[in-house]
């Protein structure tokens, strides 16, 4: 059967009846989806990629995940684990068909131990929901991805996500203590330890973090949490160029300022957010959004004032009392750009902060030489930028060449092809460029855990 949806040619290969029969022995039939209208929501993520799975299975227990994987292994059926499907790389799209395992029904917080500052969750717990529970106890789970209202902890661990508070708190890797992983043959593995620190053997846990569902499925995640700050001080700092903004940010780092947020946005991104949200950003070439946090109001305020004095290139400095609205608006950057243009290609490069000014210069040169509009924003305090190419269906090929050039420049500056979104389909071709000989060992690892290659095929390496 063939379908044309949103300009894409999609092939749907229904399962043989015997496969469904086999799966229905291990999971209730009502939680096996096989009708086309039910499958379409699982055929895409936040990218342009689309592929319809043959079935979607919605387990509610670890045992169901184990049994599903045993069948998939025996029959060599491709398996794509899925959280909320907000991936920006095509990671959650079932490019080889097969089954999608929807993990959103495994969504309980299993226990919290505030004496040890840790907790255990199932993978389908939503980031913001977890923080609502933690706030009641005075705790916080970093680092606030833009998709926090919907994305799952399982998806975040599988992509090593970070967010607007990454400059202070770092990516999720820094908070995962241990994982329960179901390997494709159904074996249940525990990697890591509830202990705060461990020097025991190879760091297998870290191999699974960022593995994008290509090695196994997480069914339980032990996380470290931190006390929730009580006070915040926030400012908007305007610049007449992105280069100036990035130079001042590097000075803030050098002077040892303890920022909890350092986000950069260019004029096109600001204009677009102002168009689609209630917040009106200043009409400037670049804006740094800065915040400090802590438990002593005066200290938090003093640290921000110190920061603002260091911003010698700033053309305007404004303190903000409306931090909640401001962060809502910042998180609307990607959705606003998506509304503004028929299609997008979002990049996710990261470089050392001292190289950010050079990178933004390269982005401007690439935009001019490829004649393509680029909107740039990102978690600049972590060196992450999301240059977003605005597409009109005709210039996708040009955008892909421009993106390749950008990635090359980021690597030359000592950077990485992805700061937070992961590899998925989008970055796969660039893995060799970044990792050289190490890629061979990554492929060997993949083969050890998934010898028949059923786990999220076509992704990462
Ligand atoms: C508007 C917007 C803003 C965003 N902002 C940020 C941001 O600030 N920071 C950031 O890091 N990302 C951001 N993202 C990207 C995305 O939200 C993150 O990558 C997020 O962590 C994905 O979570 P998810 O539940 O949607 O996972 P999915 O998209 O469903 O899956 C992502 C990957 O994880 C795998 N996976 C999911 N669950 C499991 C599991 N239990 N076991 C094994 N593998 C699993 C999937 O197979 C896939 O490879 C943003 C996306 C959007 C659309």
* CA 93 to ligand 1 center in whole angstroms: 12
Strands (E), 183-334: 188-192, 217-224, 226-227, 231-239, 261-266, 286-294, 316-320
395 lines ligand 1 (CB under 6 A): no
Mean pLDDT of the chain: 95
Question: Quick one: pLDDT at residue 10?
Answer: 61
124 lines ligand 1 (CB under 6 A): no
Question: Quick one: pLDDT at residue 2?
Answer: 38
pLDDT per position as a tens digit, 60-88? 999 999 999 999 999 999 999 999 999 99
Q: Is the pLDDT of residue 12 over 90?
A: no
* CA 85 to ligand 1 center in whole angstroms: 6
| Helices 356-369 and 242-254: angle between axes, nearest 10 degrees | 160
Of the candidates 458, 457, 244, 270, which has an alpha carbon nearest to the alpha carbon of residue 377?
Answer: 270
pLDDT per position as a tens digit, 321-343? 999 999 999 999 999 999 999 88
Nearest CA to ligand 1 atom 9: 145
261: burial class by Cβ within 10 Å (0-12, 13-18, 19+)?
Answer: buried
Question: Quick one: pLDDT at residue 14?
Answer: 77
Of the candidates 265, 385, 283, which has an alpha carbon nearest to the alpha carbon of residue 329?
Answer: 265
pLDDT per position as a tens digit, 151-178? 999 999 999 999 999 999 999 999 999 9
pTM assigned to the model: 0.96
Q: Is the pLDDT of residue 3 over 90?
A: no
> In a mutational test of the pocket of ligand 1, which residue from 72, 85, 86, 385 has the highest number of ligand atoms less than 8 Å from its CB?
86
Question: Quick one: pLDDT at residue 396?
Answer: 87
Specify the DSSP class assigned to residue 50: B
Return the higher-pLDDT residue of 1 and 407: 407
Q: Is the pLDDT of residue 446 over 80?
A: yes
Q: Is the pLDDT of residue 5 over 80?
A: no
The span from the CA of 433 to the CA of 122, in Å, is: 35
Question: Quick one: pLDDT at residue 6?
Answer: 42
Confidence class of residue 366 from pLDDT cuts 50, 70 and 90?
A: very high
Query: How many percent of the chain have pLDDT more than 70?
Result: 98
Nearest CA to ligand 1 atom 28: 85
124: burial class by Cβ within 10 Å (0-12, 13-18, 19+)?
Answer: buried
Mean pLDDT over 270-293 rounds to 96
456 lines ligand 1 (CB under 6 A): yes
Q: Is the pLDDT of residue 315 over 70?
A: yes
Nearest CA to ligand 1 atom 53: 86
46 lines ligand 1 (CB under 6 A): yes
What string of DSSP letters covers 401-427? HHHHHHHHHHHHTT-BS-SSS--TTTT
For residue 450, give the H/E element and its range: none
């Amino acid at each position: 059967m063939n379908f044309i949806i949103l300009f894409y040619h999609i092939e749907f290969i229904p399962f043989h009846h015997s496969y469904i029969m086999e799966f229905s022995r291990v999971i209730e039939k009502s939680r096996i989806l096989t009708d086309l209208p039910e499958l379409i929501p699982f055929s895409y993520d936040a990218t342009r990629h689309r592929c319809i799975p043959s079935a979607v299975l919605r387990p509610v227990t670890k045992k169901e995940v184990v049994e599903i994987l045993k069948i998939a292994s025996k029959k060599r059926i491709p398996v794509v684990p899925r959280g909320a499907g907000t991936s920006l790389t095509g990671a959650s799209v079932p490019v080889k068909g097969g089954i999608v395992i929807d993990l959103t029904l495994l969504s309980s917080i299993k226990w919290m131990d505030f004496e040890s500052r840790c907790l255990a969750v199932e993978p389908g717990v939503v980031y913001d929901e977890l923080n609502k529970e933690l706030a009641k106890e005075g705790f916080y789970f970093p680092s606030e991805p833009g998709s926090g209202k919907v994305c799952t902890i399982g998806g975040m661990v599988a992509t090593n996500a970070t967010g607007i508070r990454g400059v202070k708190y770092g990516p999720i890797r820094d908070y995962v203590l241990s994982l329960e992983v179901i390997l494709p043959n159904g074996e249940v593995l525990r990697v890591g330890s509830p202990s705060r620190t461990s020097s025991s053997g190879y760091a297998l846990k870290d191999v699974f973090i960022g593995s994008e569902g290509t090695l196994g499925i997480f069914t339980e995640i032990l996380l470290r949490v931190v006390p929730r700050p009580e006070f915040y001080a926030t400012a908007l700092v305007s610049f007449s160029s992105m280069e100036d903004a990035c130079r001042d940010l590097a000075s803030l780092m050098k002077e040892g300022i303890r920022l909890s947020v350092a986000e950069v946005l260019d004029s096109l991104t600001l204009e677009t957010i102002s168009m689609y949200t209630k917040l009106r950003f200043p009409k400037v070439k670049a804006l740094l959004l800065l915040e400090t946090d802590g438990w002593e109001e005066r200290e938090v305020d003093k640290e921000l004032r110190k920061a603002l004095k260091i911003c010698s290139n700033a053309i305007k400095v404004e303190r903000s009392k409306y931090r909640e609205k401001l962060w809502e608006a910042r998180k609307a950057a990607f959705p606003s750009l998506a509304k503004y243009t028929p299609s997008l290609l979002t990049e996710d490069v990261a470089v050392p902060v001292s190289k950010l000014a050079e990178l933004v210069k390269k982005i401007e040169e690439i935009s001019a030489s490829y004649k393509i509009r680029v909107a740039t924003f990102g978690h600049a305090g972590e060196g992450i930028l999301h240059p977003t190419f605005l597409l009109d269906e005709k210039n996708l090929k040009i955008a892909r060449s421009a993106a390749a050039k950008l990635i090359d420049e980021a690597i030359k500056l000592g950077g990485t092809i992805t700061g937070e979104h992961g590899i998925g389909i989008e970055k796969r071709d660039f893995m060799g460029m970044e990792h050289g000989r190490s890629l061979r060992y990554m492929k060997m690892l993949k083969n050890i855990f998934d010898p028949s290659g059923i786990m999220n095929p076509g992704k990462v390496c």
